[in-house]
Amino acid sequence: MPSETERTCTTCLLCLRADYGYSNYTVEGTTLSCLAGLNDALDGQEEPWREVTPELAAILDVAKTCRRYREGAPATLDVDHEGLPYPGSWTVAQVKAAGCTDDDEAAELMVQREARSP
């Protein structure tokens, strides 16, 4: 039975929704990025949108033909990185225990991404 979920980057397990701001109590917004690195145009797009422009729709629609698309809730990261150790030393188990994602591949990609961050 086919899924009724629209296939966009925001319905992919390998999408990361990262909050930014001063703390978890003062979240200023949420940015999106592709953990698989297959949609550079998605990186830094802010959510929620007041209006989905044709340009934004084209960015999100990359998922319709993406070979790595996997339906599910995107990974999440709060401002304080609550439940995670010092940046750069994360493990898959810690990312999953912190509630960022339940998916092994998404957690591994988050660990790799964090290790590359300055």
Task: Report the pLDDT value the prediction gives residue 43, as an integer from 0 to 100.
Answer: 92
Task: Report the pLDDT value the prediction gives residue 3, as an integer from 0 to 100.
Answer: 64
* Amino acid in position 48: P
SS3 helix, strand, coil % of the chain, rounded to 5? 30, 20, 50
Strand order in the sheet with 15-21: 45-47, 27-34, 15-21, 75-77
- Going by the DSSP 8-state scheme, the letter that residue 71 receives in this structure is B
Q: Which residues contact 118 (CB under 8 A, 6 or more apart)?
A: none
| pTM for this entry | 0.90
Task: Report the pLDDT value the prediction gives residue 2, as an integer from 0 to 100.
Answer: 57
| Tens of each residue's pLDDT in the chain, 118 residues | 556 778 999 999 999 999 999 999 999 999 999 999 999 999 988 887 777 889 999 999 999 999 999 999 999 999 999 999 987 789 999 999 999 999 999 999 999 999 888 6
